Amino acid sequence: MSDTTEGRPDGAAPAIELKGISKAFGAVQANKDISIRVMPGTIHGIIGENGAGKSTLMSILYGFYKADAGEVFIAGRKTDIPDSQAAIAAGIGMVFQHFKLVENFTVLENIILGAEDGARLGPSLSKARKELTQLAAEYELNVDPDALIENIGVGMQQRVEILKALYRRADILILDEPTGVLTPAEADHLFRILEGLKREGKTIILITHKLREIMDITDTVSVMRRGEMTATVKTSETSPAELAELMVGRKVLLRVDKKPATPGANVLEVEDLRVVDDKGVERVKGVSLVVKAGEILGVAGVAGNGQSELLEVLGGVQTGTGTIRVNGQEIDLTGSQSDARTRRARGIAHVPEDRQRAGLIMDFKAWENVAFGYHDDPAYQSGLLMNNAAIREDTEGKIERFDVRPANANLPAKSFSGGNQQKLVLAREIERNPDLLLIGQPTRGVDIGAIEFIHQRIVELRDEGKAILLVSVELDEIMSLSDRIAVIFDGQIMGERLPSETDEKELGLLMAGITDTTHDHSVEEIEANLARAHGEVH
Amino acid sequence: MDRMPRWADIVLIPLINLLLAFLISGLVILAIGEDPIEALKLMVDGALGSTYGWGFTLYYATNFIFTGLAVAVAFHASLFNIGGEGQAALGGLGVALVCLMVPWPHWTIALIAATVGAGLFGALWAAIPAYLQAKRGSHIVITTIMFNFIAASLLNYVLVNMLRPAGSMDPATAKFPEATHLPTLTDFLEIFGIPFAARTPANITLIIALLACVAVYFLIWRTRLGYQIRALGKSEPAAIYAGISPVWIIMITMMISGALAGLMAINNVMGEAERLVLNSVEGAGFIGIAVALMGRSHPFGVLIAALLFGFLYQGGAELALWTSIPRDLVVVIQALVILFTGALDGMVRTPVERMFLALRRRKPQPTRGPAE
Amino acid sequence: MDFLTVLQILDSTLRLSTPLLLACLAGLFSERAGIFDIGLEGKMLAAAFFSAATAAATGSVWVGLLAGIGASLALSGLHGVASITFRGNQLISGVAINFLAAGLTVLIGQSWFGLGGRTPSLIGGGRFEPITLPFAEALSGVPIIGPLYAELISGHTIPVYVALLCVPLTWYILFRTRFGLRLRAVGENPAAVDTAGVSVVGLRFAAVAICGVLCGIAGAYLATGLQAGFVKDMSAGRGFIALAALIFAKWRPWYALYATLLFGFLQAISLRPDVIKSLVGFNVQIQLLDALPYILTVVILAGFVGKAVPPRAGGAPYVKER
């Protein structure tokens, strides 16, 4: 192998080297001529916006996609990775953003799946059990081997994924947006595990869109933009501002210009709201809150703590118990009148968290989507039939006012970019002149240019005296848009703060369920708290 | 941007699928030692060569329009109604009860009542699986299969024990009264002075079938209900977000689907047999699946596909009469059409899409595509 | 009702359950791997025809069995190509296979034998003969146990015993082997299997092939064990009853045995209206008995008696996702 190190003076071959990787999906060029070197025993960050091509690149490395062009070198040796099998054989382990676990299998069964010894299961299981105890002690990766995946929390599931990779003797570990589902404390624990792995000589690639994580833990960082690798720099020699600029290609205004709020009367009053999901688990546990006219209430929290359910009950998508009043009038939460249609009739507009799954029908044309949810509007009818011409005309106006591109009402929703899809939804909901706007993850998967536009429209709506309930897992977004912040944890509101009187640290503790924010808390304490909330017994 | 032009999607691909199905059917005929070209000639001659042949072809096509529309409407809500067979059988029961229980003064009134009866019985038989899907999450494909068998047992029971005239050994109802007999297509065309062979089973139900095509078109693409059906079919979470009740839409869609399947009975039970016999549907409910798949769930496509299957049915009967090829050849062709237009669609679609993509790349782009 | 009648009915229960059990286990392998199969009926029918035709031609039931399995495997392969390779709709593919088998068996049968779709009646070595288990003769004198052993347990054809043995075997394969673990995983979350470096396509084709073999035995038993030759549509909905039994059994091997025994019993008893009358005191309509497996399945599906949760990834073609 000595010839493949190209006789470089330091002698160490990169753990991974990619040369000229390109990949196109149809007309979209996801990766353009990407070259990168990852040195062994380092934590290498890859940062970029949604859709920058990070995940595609890693999927190529894991054998999920075949690159159109380019070469992969593992430890200096040119390696073909046609499938996951080859990636595993090359010592690559991957922790996907969406875990690849079998829900009704035990932790142990998930770990040995695909890496069994021999045709009979018994010996494989007992061998894995022993090894697991060892790994757990070595890297602080404690899990109950006999627990079913569906019964453990997301943090634990992520550890199972890491264990899967280590059990397969991975030397290179790729983590794709690993902290999206974690609290700051859980994320800290994850980073400690990663530091431990690095000390043992493992190479780690961390894919994220969060600048803070890059600055905290990585040794080197590569920046991707629109399918291209724009830079690779030592983390110690760069700054968040520089990275942000590299990510988007220009200076970013992270602050939103807005006047102080002038709150009016209560528009939304929620008292003791409770939501039980299909599995009988209580997801919202007695939430009470108020949103006034002319203010934005931001709900902060780690994904999966009940904020989605809160939004859905308010939007009429789910049922719940408790009291909700809009403009002083109570809303039916369980009866036959409890659906999204009656909510809209009461002046509630709703921009859902997942626009592709709920907010739009991806195969419907733009104009069909503009009628979506408002298909009963008399303006859209002519006799027994729908007045498609009127809907089209309305759509063309919205496309112009919200600068939707391409400006073609006949294109299906799936043909628009994430930002333009969101503008379509926003146009539909805002132009109904609602008293209350429910808006979830307004800028998830949206390009920077559209983010500014969307933030401006939300603030404008507030200035018109409307009440706005904003749910977002991006703490930056909550901090910059909200007039008041409520923090949700385990289905309960932990407290309310004014943006001017709080900081990310305090909010982070509240998001982990710790209300006593004046003292320092150990990670163990926070973890124990989370475990209780997830209903785990140890 | 779409991967290929619209005409390729709705004409070219179904055509290739169909040709593949026919090609293999031809090979099957070759394999059993017959001449496929000769067979095709016989079929065309027998089914389309005379107004007599057309009379049978149109009669069968009428059945298939109804069952094809039934499957197509359900497809729009992403429901696979495989229970057309049972729903059409129950429709037959509805028709029989209407025709036998009330002394109708004139066929027009009897037809209206029988249409209601057929539709209602078919709709109710579809309503139970629909309810179980909507409320209890029971997979509609399995329940409708089960309901086909339950319907067969039920009809067997009703015909043997209740509706069989005293002294008859035949598990069938009595002949319907004269006043309920529908005018044949021959009678109808005579009004316009068009000569048409007598003694064919084609009757004025064909007109109702054509009206049903138009009605389904407006229902799916022009009404609020159709909008909601299509929305639910594309995405259930989105439908709920928009305030569309999945329970209600599943119920109403399946009942419309069941009613359409049931309506077939005015053709075969009231128009042709003029009494209800055991297994009156004769597989037309299943052919509806092939018809809907081939017709891409569009009423116009369903009409074309139903005509094709009407031709195959009549042509197949002629083949069985003149050669040693049994009628079951049609079942094979039907299977191949379902296979190629339904399950193996991707086999044809992917290469065709690639071809169009390659053609487009070669051409210089006149304007830039959509942003990003 | 005497002991002998009970034995007779249980005996025919066992014989009638056999094709249901084999087809049900066939479906179990396929659906546990995430491939829905409503084409069990067609595969059984094709196997019945080709086994009978081959047995008639060669005079050997074993060659017939192989031909039956071959025919069923060919249709399984078609289902696999449509639903795994081309990611087509598994339900539609199943429907097509049922019709293909129904049409082709008659078409080919007519061409080969000219008997209106039937095969010639099988005699001698063309059929599975009952085998007498050891000590059946000797024990038959012992009260109760003797006749029970001699009449009910002994004296069946080989496929009956094969089917019964398949139950523990299936259980062992599914829950105690590497292959079983992967098979169940691919029906629950194929992405987990794929990222673990195991071929989803390979596993699913393996499952579909096992399904084909078992359906082949089931169909061959119909034509060369239960009856002596093939007649048109002789599977008579058994593939769908097996499907019903599979749901009834909630996709578990031992429950599959119980469910198919129950449905076999319903078929056996519907042949003996006199026994039903003496049992319940009044005439039970045969039609009700015929419909009972389907009604029971609908009740189970509706979740009134426990919930039947199918494998999570069932029915959906696997597409790689990040």
A459 shares a domain with A337:
yes
pLDDT, average across residues A382-405:
94
Q: Which chains touch A (3 or more CB pairs under 8 A)?
A: B, C
- Residue of chain C whose alpha carbon sits nearest to that of A98: C322
Cα–Cα dist A256/C190, whole Å: 44
Nearest to residue A22, comparing CAs of A55, A47, A57? A57
Q: Looking at the partner chain, which of A358, A381, A405 has a beta carbon nearest the beta carbon of B237?
A: A358
Instruction: Out of 1.10.3470, 1.10.10, 1.10.287, 3.40.50, select the CATH number for domain B59-310.
Output: 1.10.3470
> Cα A17 vs. chain centroid, distance in angstroms?
28
Contact A340 B223 (CB under 8 A): no
Show Cβ contacts of residue C69 under 8 Å, excluding neighbours closer than 6 positions. C47, C212, C213, C216, C217, C220
Helix (H) or strand (E) holding C34, with range, is: none
Interface test with A, best of C171, C173, C181, C195 (most A CBs within 10 A): C195
CB contact, 8 Å: A199 with chain C?
A: no
Q: Give how many domains chain A has, as a whole number.
A: 3
Please tell me the distance from the alpha carbon of residue A222 to that of residue A141, in angstroms, as a whole number: 28
pLDDT in tens, B331-363: 999 999 999 988 898 888 888 888 888 887 766
Calculate how close chain B gets to A126, using CA atoms only, in Å.
39
Q: Which CATH number do you get for residue A64?
A: 3.40.50.300
Mean pLDDT computed over every residue of chain A: 87
Nearest-Cα distance to chain A for C137, in Å, is: 40
Residue C309 domain-assigned? no
pLDDT band of residue A521 (cuts 50, 70, 90) is: low
Question: What average pLDDT score do residues A387-406 get?
Answer: 94
**pTM for the structure as a whole:** 0.88
pLDDT in tens, A244-290: 778 766 555 556 778 888 899 999 999 999 999 877 788 999 999 99
For residue B89, which of B261, B255, B287 has the smallest C-alpha distance? B261
Alpha-carbon dihedral of residues C54, C60, C63, C65, nearest 10 degrees?
80
The answer, yes or no, to whether residue B163 has pLDDT greater than 50, is yes
The percent of residues above 90 in pLDDT, for chain A, comes to: 59
Q: Which of A348-362, B261-275, B340-354 has the lowest mean pLDDT?
A: B340-354
Q: A222: which strand partners?
A: A46, A232
Chain C residues touching B82 at Cβ < 8 A: 91, 95
Minimum CA–CA partner of C175 in chain A:
A121
The count of residues in chain C is: 322
As a dihedral over the C-alpha atoms of residue C86, residue C91, residue C97, residue C103, rounded to 10 degrees, the angle is -130
What CA–CA distances, in Å, run from A472 to A50, A190, A293, A340, A492? 16, 22, 20, 21, 16
Residue type, A488: I
Are A386 and B227 a contacting pair at CB < 8 A? yes
| Residues A63-121: tens digit of each pLDDT | 888 899 999 999 999 999 988 899 999 999 999 888 999 999 999 999 999 999 989 99
Mean pLDDT, chain C, integer: 91
- Identify whether C306 is part of a domain: no
Identify whether A33 is part of a domain. Answer: yes
Instruction: Check residue C189 and give its pLDDT.
Output: 95
**Calpha distance C322→C304 (Å, rounded):** 38
- In the predicted model, what is the mean pLDDT of residues A485-489? 93
The predicted-structure confidence for A448-467, as pLDDT tens digits, reads as follows 778 888 999 999 999 999 99
Which whole number is the average pLDDT over B107-124? 97
Complex ipTM: 0.91
Q: With an 8 Å Cβ cutoff, are A317 and B240 in contact?
A: yes
Chain-chain contact of B326 with C294 (C-beta, under 8 angstroms): no
Report, as an integer, the average pLDDT of A178-199. Answer: 85
Q: How many domains does chain C divide into?
A: 1
Burial of residue A356 (number of CB atoms within 10 Å: 0-12, 13-18, 19+): middle
- Smallest CA–CA distance, residue C19 to chain B, in Å, is 19
Say if the Cβ atoms of A385 and B222 lie within 8 Å. yes
Please tell me the distance in Å from B132's CA to the nearest CA on chain C. 6
Chain C neighbors (3+ CB pairs < 8 Å) = A, B
Q: Token pair for residue A70?
A: 């380019």
Partner residue opposite B242 with nearest CB, options A340, A420, A447: A340
Do residue C291 and residue B154 have CB atoms under 8 angstroms apart?
A: yes
**Interchain proximity B231–A316, CB inside 8 Å:** no
Q: Write down the domain spans for chain B.
A: 59-310
For residue C320, tell me if it sits in a domain: no
Query: A536: pLDDT confidence band, cut at 50, 70 and 90?
Result: very low
Interface of B with A (CB under 8 A): 1, 3, 218, 222-224, 227-228, 230-231, 234-235, 237-238, 240-245, 357, 369-372
> CA Rg, chain A, in Å?
25
Average pLDDT over every residue of B88-102: 96
Q: Does pLDDT of B134 surpass 80?
A: yes
The overall average pLDDT reported for chain B is 91
- Distance, CA of B239 to CA of C259 (rounded, Å): 38
**A406/C contact by beta carbon, under 8 A:** no
Residues B302-321, mean pLDDT to the nearest whole number: 94
Q: How many CB atoms lie within 10 A of CB B37?
A: 11
The reply to whether residue C103 touches residue B334, judged by beta carbons under 8 angstroms, is yes
Question: Which pLDDT belongs to residue A1?
Answer: 36
Cα distance between residue A52 and residue A426, in whole Å? 24
**C273 in any annotated domain:** yes
With respect to residue C130, please indicate whether it lies within any of the assigned structural domains.
Answer: yes
Partner residue facing C196 (CB), from A64, A114, A122: A114
The two structure tokens encoding residue A230: 């724009």
User: Nearest chain A Cα to B228, which residue?
Assistant: A375
| C176/chain A closest Cα distance in angstroms | 5
pLDDT band with cut points at 50, 70 and 90 for residue B7:
confident
C-alpha–C-alpha distance, residues C23 and C243, integer Å: 8
Among the partner residues A26, A340, A357, nearest to B243 by beta-carbon distance: A340
Q: Which of A379, A404, A432 is the last residue of a domain?
A: A432
Determine the residue of chain B that is closest to C87 in CA distance.
B346
Q: How far apart are CA C132 and CA A510, in angstroms?
A: 76
Residue B371: band (very low, low, confident or very high) from pLDDT cuts 50, 70, 90? very low
Q: What residue of A is the nearest CA neighbor of B218?
A: A385
pLDDT, mean of residues B229-249: 95
Exposed / middle / buried, residue B337 (Cβ in 10 Å: 0-12, 13-18, 19+): buried
Mean pLDDT value across residues A336-340: 81
Q: How close is the nearest chain B Cα to the Cα of C299, in Å?
A: 9
Verify whether the Cβ–Cβ distance A359 to B238 is below 8 Å.
yes
A253 is a domain residue: no
Q: What domain range is A34 assigned to?
A: 2-248
Is there a single domain that holds both residue A269 and residue A217? no
Domain membership flag for residue A255: no
Which residue does chain C place closest to A96, by CA atoms?
C322
- Does the beta-carbon distance from C82 to B325 stay under 8 Å? no
Would residue A382 count as lying in a domain?
yes
Chain A contacts in chain C segment 215-254 (CB below 8 A): none
**Res. C60: pLDDT tops 80:** yes
Beta strand A172-176 pairing with A92-95: parallel
Q: Enumerate long-range contacts of A192-201, CB under 8 Å, 24 or more apart.
A: A192/A140, A192/A523, A193/A139, A193/A140, A193/A141, A193/A159, A193/A162, A194/A43, A195/A43, A196/A138, A196/A139, A196/A140, A197/A139, A197/A173, A198/A41, A198/A42, A198/A43, A200/A138, A200/A139, A201/A40, A201/A41, A201/A171
pLDDT by residue (tens digit) across C276-301? Answer: 777 777 777 788 888 888 898 888 88
Distance set, CA A344 to CA A21, A292, A320, B241 (Å): 49, 18, 17, 11
Where do we find the tokens 């002998």?
Answer: C4
The whole-number average pLDDT for the span A317-327 is 93
Range of the domain at C195: 3-301
Give, in order, the Cα–Cα distances in Å from B358 to each of A406, B4, B12, B352, B366.
24, 10, 17, 10, 16
CB pair distance less than 8 Å for A27 and B222: no
Predicted local confidence at residue C1, as pLDDT: 63
Contacts of A379 (CB under 8 A, 6+ apart): A387, A390, A394
- Is residue A254 assigned to a domain? no
Residue of chain B with shortest Cα separation from A382: B223
Q: Model confidence at B107, in pLDDT bands (50, 70, 90)? A: very high
From A432, A450, A468, the end of a domain falls on: A432
Most confident of A19-23, C148-152, C163-167, C229-233: C163-167
Task: For residue B357, give how far its alpha carbon lies from the nearest alpha carbon of chain A (Å).
Answer: 8
| Contact residues on chain B for C99, CB-CB shorter than 8 A | 286, 331-332, 334-335, 338
CA atoms within 13 A on the CB side of B115: 15
Rounded to whole angstroms, what are the CA distances from A418 to A402, A425, A454, A456? 14, 11, 12, 17
> How many CB atoms are closer than 10 A to CB A431?
16
Cβ of B243 within 8 Å of Cβ of A316? The answer is: yes
Q: Is residue A189 part of a domain?
A: yes
Taking the Cβ of residue A176 and every Cβ of chain C, the question of whether any pair is shorter than 8 Å is answered with yes
**Does C100 contact B336 at a Cβ distance shorter than 8 Å?**
yes
pLDDT digits (tens, 9 = 90+) for B35-82: 999 999 999 999 999 999 999 999 999 999 999 999 999 999 999 999
Q: Residue B241 is nearest to which of A340, A342, A416, comparing CB atoms?
A: A340
**Nearest residue on chain C to B328, judged by CA atoms?**
C103
**Residue A83 maps to a domain:** yes
Q: Domain boundary residue among A222, A248, A274? A: A248
- Note whether A373 contacts B245, CB cutoff 8 Å: no
Nearest to C241 by CA among C309, C295, C195, C303: C295
pLDDT at B9: 83
Query: Token pair of A260, please?
Result: 């102080």
In the structure encoding, which two tokens stand for residue C143, read together?
């009260």
How confident is the model over C187-226, as pLDDT tens digits? Answer: 999 999 999 999 999 999 999 999 999 999 999 999 999 9
> Quick check: B146 and C294 CB within 8 A?
yes
In a shared domain, residues A446 and A427: no
C-alpha radius of gyration, chain B, whole number = 22
pLDDT score for A4: 40
If you average pLDDT over residues B207-219, what whole number do you get? Answer: 97
One-letter identity of residue C30: S
Which residue pairs from A253-259 have beta carbons closer than 8 angstroms and sit at least 24 positions apart in sequence? A253/A452, A254/A476, A254/A480, A255/A480, A256/A455, A256/A456, A256/A459, A256/A480, A256/A481, A257/A459, A258/A459, A258/A462, A258/A463, A258/A481, A259/A463
How far is B342 from chain C, CA to nearest CA, in Å?
Answer: 6
Nearest-CA distance B79 → chain C (Å)? 12
Interface of B with C in 181-240 (CB under 8 A): none
Question: For residue B333, which residues of chain C lie inside 8 Å, CB to CB?
Answer: 103
**Phi/psi at A207 (nearest 5 deg)?**
-100, 130
Average pLDDT in the A419-426 region? Answer: 93
The DSSP bridge pattern shows strands A329-330 and A492-497 to be unpaired
With residues binned 3-state (H G I as helix, E B as strand, rest as coil), the percentages for chain A, rounded to 5, are 35, 25, 40
Query: Hey, how many other C-beta atoms are within 10 angstroms of the C-beta on C245?
Result: 31
Between A318 and A25, name the one with better pLDDT: A318
Which among C88, C108, C244 has the least Cβ separation from residue B146? C244
The end-to-end CA distance of chain C, in Å, is 65
- Whether A317 and B241 lie within 8 Å, measured CB to CB: yes
A274 with A150, same domain: the answer is no
Asked whether residue C183 is domain-assigned, the answer is yes
